[in-house]
Amino acid sequence: MSPSIHSPEIDSAITQKLHTAEIFSQLSDGDIEIIAAHSSLRQFQSGDTVFSINDQSSAFFIVASGTIRIIQKSEDGSESVIAELLPGDSFGELEYLMGSPRNASAIAAVDSSLICFPPDDTPVETHLKDYPVLNSRLLLSFLRVIAKRLRSSNALIKENSPWIQELRRQVYGDKLTGLFNKTYLEEELPGMLSDPKSPVCLMLMKPDNFKFINDTYGHEAGDGSLKMMALELSRKAGNEGICLKYMGNELGVILHGADRTTALRKAEEIREAFNSLDIRSVTGGTAVTVTVSIGIAVWPEHGQNAVDIISAAHALPLVGRERGGNFILFPEDAK
């Protein structure tokens, strides 16, 4: 591998290549020029190692030319190619963002040139400390691209590989509850709404007295009660539902093939389970009844698309709380 290359001419070439990279496709010309100024171009000969498994992550890469193979070891020690990356593809960004060791190796399949960002071991926030807005846009771009990879993975990437599982956990997992998150709902729900003859139900729910728990027993008690609710929700949903945390203290369930009657019955079961939930372990021994208001939106009855369904269900728990709490509402009940 040759050392990093940097010059005004190289900066111009890097800028042109960055414009073609999917991960930067939604950034402005000015943003890309800033990133180019904090990047370098590295040359690799066929067979060179870009990084090895368990190496510390100090940068991520965009393929400018050539082909890079991502190689992973199985438990029996055998190696397999899980991805081949072509010009415009990026790699290594997930471990870099997490600050975790590499979970695979990257090898140049042919003579290749890679854009390296940042060009040294300095954290990205140091390079972009004067550009906080760009820093946020860059993170959002990472998440968008990673989410897209999960929806349409290259055929060479195994769905059950540790790399894919880690991507799913990072992009779609809520750290507090372990459920799916807002990104999962917004990215995946549209693809679930395909057959109008097979309804899809979305329930979104908020504990009516969450503020009381937080204010009285502390934020740790609030987080603890929400984790207990998430666990109970998963039990009640079973294999029938996909559970998630949407925003703040708002939990949700997606039910395939559930019409109004089925959805209402399941919502009543969930409400009863929450009302019976014992949260004394997080309130210092004080018994508190968790009341919850649940909004139910059924596609296609309550909206033409995922945005409509999410919006309809999201508005209802607050209506239920304003009416005294522990309500189950469909959109027409709020009129």
Per-position DSSP letters for 279-297, written without gaps between them: -TTTTTT---PPPEEEEEE
Phi-psi region of 39 (alpha: psi -120 to 50; beta: other; left: phi over 0): beta
What are the pLDDT digits (tens) for 166-203?
Answer: 666 667 888 899 999 998 898 889 989 988 889 999 99
Distance CA 137, CA 290 (A): 38
Classify domain 8-172 by CATH number: 2.60.120.10
pLDDT of amino acid 278:
96
| Cα dihedral across residues 1, 122, 64, 16: positive or negative | negative
Q: What's the CA gap between 114 and 42, in Å, rounded? A: 5
The pTM (predicted TM-score) of the whole model is 0.58
Superfamily of domain 182-334: Reverse transcriptase/Diguanylate cyclase domain (3.30.70.270)
Domain ranges (residues) in the chain = 8-172, 182-334
pLDDT in tens, 61-95: 989 899 999 998 776 778 888 889 888 888 887 77
Q: Are strands 200-207 and 292-299 parallel, antiparallel or unpaired?
A: antiparallel
Average pLDDT, the chain: 85
